[in-house]
Amino acid sequence: MFWKKILVMGLPNGDNTLVEGQSSGLTGGQKQRLNIARALYHRPQLILFDDVLSALDVKTEIQIMTGLLGRDGLLSKLGATVLFVTHSTHWETIADSVITLDGSGNTTKRSNIPGLQGKVLPTEFNLRHSMDLKSSENVKADQILENPSGGENSQAIDASNVRLPETLVVSEAHIVDIPQHESDSRDYLQVIELKLRSPMYSHFMETLNGLSSIRVLGWQERVTDSMIEKVDRSQVPDYLLYCAQRWLQLVLDLVVAALAIIVITLAIKLHRSTNPGSLSLSLNNILSFNETLSFLLQYWTQLEISLGAISRTREFAHRKLSEPKSLSPFTLPPNWPEHGSIEIRNLNASYAPSTLALNNITLSIHAGEKIGFCGRSGSGKSSLLSTLLRLLEPSSGSITIDGIDLSTINHQTLRERLLTVPQDAFLIQQTIRYNLDPLAQYTDSQLIAALQKVYLWSLFSPLNGLATIAPSNFLSQGQK
């Protein structure tokens, strides 16, 4: 019941809510709780928690810790061995033993006093209390994530993925109409191929991103079977195309054979007026007509496919952004924002029409103030920051910075002027220098000084310095 309330009841469709990789619409805290619940349903005797409390608010953190490791907690009842990695020290009293790492490989181990756990644990909340998750945080941001063409772009990149039948049953008088008659079948098979291949691509990428979880939970066989099933289904259009090609080739051969029989029959009936040389030439032309027509149709349809691929690629390259344009964009002053005062008036914003992520927000932030937005996971903190960057467009109300309405500022210009540190750390698979300064505006000494201030230069200096490649698993979440 506990996990049902904090995980399932807060989602739009309960446990049937579709989670689609990185665009799931789940907050950081909800992703962490979902991972915890998945591990618990596995009923392990040894479980490893890698800082799973970092994105949770205090109340939710207390409920999860007491619900798992408290006197009546689930893991306590199961008698499971728990290794809990965290930088928070206020939960060390719940552990039987605490091992401290100093960053240099040195460890310090100490045991807690038996019986102390029950005295120092925070008061346990009623585990039946609902967590009041905002379902609007779980809905995909249609304005931001919308892809009008779906998976068709993967088809446009490689024109050879769609193969038209090499031969068609046509008469000489209707050769010009061949592409038009074939287009319906081609488009239909192309749609089928796109629908069946997209799940295969998605499953492959999700498997790569979740290899560690798959191996830990022992899901290799299940994931492999699922992948094989999707690969088999993705080959259905190819099989149908091959069958259509073979059938059309057979029919065309029969038509050409019928023409040859007709010519021979006429030659026999009209043998007195038939020239043997002309008859031989006619039969030779009929036999080569099949091959000539096949090549003609093949090259014509291949040209059509190639032109279609070019058209789709151009459409993808020049497609208008799904974000709405500014009301009256103008050139900002070069030093904007100079002061940093923010005015928000009657702000409403939502990811879906049915629910509001932000409801009638009004506040004033003066220049130089340090403001903290506090709230539970899913309460709208990230949504409020998204409106400042116009990642989430307000449905009503206004936001001004230094007296300039954000709706009048170009999206790219606005995001270049505001410095943002997102909740989910993002690193490009490039050098440390590129990740710090992609526009190459600062010197090496300035970048090294910045790394020293956050205590990371000692990590890169023994390697290649700023030229060190930063893979996703090289840095911890806190270092990112």
CB atoms within 10 A of CB 457: 17
**Helix 236-269 vs helix 220-234: crossing angle, to nearest 10:** 20
Percent of the chain with pLDDT over 70: 70
* Alpha-carbon distance values, 62 to 83, 89, 123, 376, 445 (Å): 18, 14, 9, 12, 44
The helix/strand count (H/E) of the chain reads as 17, 8
pTM: 0.49
Read off the pLDDT of residues 254-306 as tens digits, 9 standing for 90 and up. Answer: 888 888 888 888 888 877 777 777 778 878 888 788 788 777 777 776 787 67
Per-residue pLDDT, 333? 83
Closest CA to 76 of 84, 86, 88, 66: 66
| Tokens at 26, concatenated | 């789940």
Distance between CA atoms of residues 237 and 162, nearest Å: 9
**Neighbouring residues of 256: CB distance < 8 A, sequence distance ≥ 6:** 286, 287, 289, 290
Per-residue pLDDT of the chain (480 residues; tens, 9 = 90+): 444 444 454 555 666 666 665 545 666 777 778 778 877 877 778 888 887 777 777 778 888 888 888 777 888 888 888 888 877 777 777 777 888 876 665 666 665 544 434 333 333 333 333 333 333 333 333 333 333 344 444 443 333 333 333 333 333 333 334 344 444 555 555 556 666 677 788 788 878 877 877 887 778 888 888 888 888 888 887 787 778 777 877 887 888 888 888 888 888 887 777 777 777 887 888 878 878 877 777 777 678 767 877 877 787 777 755 666 655 556 788 888 888 899 999 998 887 777 788 888 898 999 888 888 887 767 788 888 888 888 888 888 889 998 888 888 888 888 888 888 776 777 777 888 888 888 888 899 999 999 899 888 888 888 888 888 876 666 776 777
Distance between CA atoms of residues 165 and 182, nearest Å: 9
Distance between CA atoms of residues 3 and 131, nearest Å: 10
Read off the pLDDT of residues 309-345 as tens digits, 9 standing for 90 and up. Answer: 787 778 777 775 566 665 555 678 888 888 889 999 9
